[in-house]
Amino acid sequence: MAFTKNIKAFLNDTGDIAGFAGQFFSTGIKPRFEVLELLNQCYIIGYKSLPLIGLTGFIMGLVLTMQLRPSLVAYGVESQLPVMVGIAIVREIGPVITALIFAGKIASSIGAELGSMKVTEQIDAMEVSGTNPFKYLVATRTVATTLMLPVLTVLGDAIALFGAYIGVNIRSATSFYLFFIQVFRSLSFGDVLPAFFKTFFFGFAVGIVGCYKGYTSSKGTRGVGSSANSAVVLSSVVIFFIDLLAVQLTDLLGLN
Amino acid sequence: MKTQTATENNVIVIEKLCKHFGDHTVLQDFALSVKKEENVVVLGKSGSGKSVLIKCIIGLLKPDSGNIKVFGQNVPDMSHEVLDQVRARIGFLFQGNALYDSMTVRENLEFPLRRHWIAASQNEVEALVMEALENVGLAHTVDLMPEELSGGMLKRVALARTMILKPEVILYDEPTTGLDPVTAREIDKLILKLQDKYHTSSIIITHDMNCVKNTADRVALLLDGRCYAQGTYTDFEHSTDPNIHQFFE
């Protein structure tokens, strides 16, 4: 019974989020544009997330290298470690881990902020002040997450590769130049571009889910907490679904 | 008890207003009018639909049926653009103040100005912000964050923000709820002072009888979704109707 109820709630949520996303395209990105608020959100969502993305990226690159080394040594292809790590980070792990960390930080923050604004009637106050709250709050945040996540992913990948370079040098000596030459020679546009483009969709998902959860938050502090929590869970699940679709699509297009 | 009819002197005329939430009827054929420079207090128990009423007037909620004519225009029929123009002439004081907690007091007051008066220069905006804060005696809080203010100060700043566009009509949603009696009386005095200064008309939603006594030109009792009775505070005070009398016990 509870399972059926959960499935029903999930399907209802999915339908409502699709409607919310539709509203974003029908009204959210039409003039008048809230350019100043968009820039402010890009600063908060992008620039202020950089230390966290950088730190996790560095650790991810370092740990991945250290974990891969024994297997490669066993097969006698330790020299291929930069290639292996480079492809893994750029094609899959970098975008997905960055998106998940980003969802954890930003979707919860947007969900809690908008939920709190909803509960304390700040969204109504905004509407009374002649402002379309959907444009001011939802459109700006969603556009900011859509634009900032690809940038953060590129930076996160670069820092992860630097972490991998440190990881390689823990057990052996490889020059910075040699490491990155090996990484870049192994990568093609077919590796980089699909991985880069899917991060726009990841960013959009984080923004729209976070905004939806906050904007439709129920009354009370419990409702705000629940919005923040479900924004992270749902956006993380959506990221995996988009990743699955993206991999299938690139496979169909022969880009894998 | 009097029955109000629509006249040219009315700034707000509400006729046969109905609003339901699911099976729950909140407003049923509600009627009320507000004259120029008149303070009408809508009295009612908690959950009687008072807040729903003023949210319908400002267009935050759409009624199921009925007319809400503000300055002669029917709110439910307005386009978003027209509604925004009308909203610039109406102030709304929220029950919980609804100050933007990520903005300073100055930014909170500037927000509606920037939205409605896009062409205003920085000097004009600054002068209006300071005038609004001086009206409520809080000019020194201009650079503070809302979290640094007390409950009474928050209410005053919210009132300053409500008044900053010099609205012709102000809707107060329980302006004294949650305040101590002394601060509540100060807010009552401010409401009267600002009305006297800017010649505004008001609808004040409350169940605070001291607020009713201090501010009301006319009182309307909202009961079972209808305007059950209207009259002056004195009429209500001397009423033997148990539905009215219970507010004075």
Backbone angles phi, psi at B80, to 5 degrees: -60, -40
Whole-angstrom CA distances from B163 to A24, A88, A230, A252, B212 are: 32, 59, 39, 61, 21
Q: Which residue has the higher pLDDT, A101 or B183?
A: A101
Nearest-Å Rg of the Cα atoms of chain B is: 18
Cα-Cα-Cα-Cα torsion B133, B139, B144, B148, nearest 10 degrees, comes to -90
How much helix, strand and coil, in percent to the nearest 5, is found in chain B? 40, 25, 35
Which residues partner with B34 through β-bridges?
B12
User: Is some CB atom of chain B closer than 8 A to the CB atom of A40?
Assistant: no
User: Which of the four pLDDT bands, split at 50, 70 and 90, describes residue B7?
Assistant: low
pLDDT at B2: 44
Asked whether B210 and B184 are in contact (CB, 8 A), the reply is: yes
ipTM above 0.90, yes or no: no
Find how far residue A145's CA is from the centre of its chain: 8
Which residues partner with B74 through β-bridges?
B69
User: Is some CB atom of chain A closer than 8 A to the CB atom of B58?
Assistant: yes
- Domain range for A36 is 24-252
User: Is some CB atom of chain B closer than 8 A to the CB atom of A48?
Assistant: no
The DSSP output letter for B60 is: S
Closest of A244, A250, A32, A204 to residue A107, by C-alpha: A204
User: Which of the four pLDDT bands, split at 50, 70 and 90, describes residue B6?
Assistant: very low
What is the maximum alpha-carbon separation in chain A? 69
* Continuous H helices in chain B: 50-57, 80-87, 105-116, 122-135, 151-163, 181-198, 209-215, 233-237, 242-245
Number of domains present in the structure of chain A: 1
pLDDT at B5: 45
CATH architecture of B36-62+74-248: 3-Layer(aba) Sandwich (3.40)
State the CB neighbour count (10 A cutoff) for residue A18. 12
pLDDT at B60: 93
pLDDT at A221: 78
Q: Is the confidence at residue B104, as pLDDT, over 70?
A: yes
pLDDT at B4: 45
Q: Residue type for A22, please?
A: G
Chain A residues within 8 A of B116 when measuring between CB atoms: 129-130
Which residue is closest to A126 within chain B, CA to CA? Answer: B112
pLDDT at A149: 97
Report the residue from A121, A122, A129 with minimal CB separation from B115.
Answer: A129
Whole-angstrom CA distances from A10 to A6, A13, A15, A235, B45 are: 6, 5, 9, 13, 38
User: Is some CB atom of chain A closer than 8 A to the CB atom of B151?
Assistant: no
Whole-angstrom CA distances from A233 to A45, A108, A133, A205, A209 are: 19, 9, 25, 12, 10
pLDDT digits (tens, 9 = 90+) for B21-76: 988 999 999 999 999 999 999 999 888 899 999 999 999 999 999 999 999 999 99
Average confidence (pLDDT) over B169-195: 90
Strands B10-21 and B39-43: unpaired
Asked whether A62 and A164 are in contact (CB, 8 A), the reply is: yes
What's the order of all strands across the beta sheet hosting B169-173? B90-93, B169-173, B201-206, B39-43, B218-223, B226-231
Residue B114 Cα, gap to closest chain A Cα (Å): 9
Give every residue of chain A whose pLDDT is below 50, as ranges. Answer: none
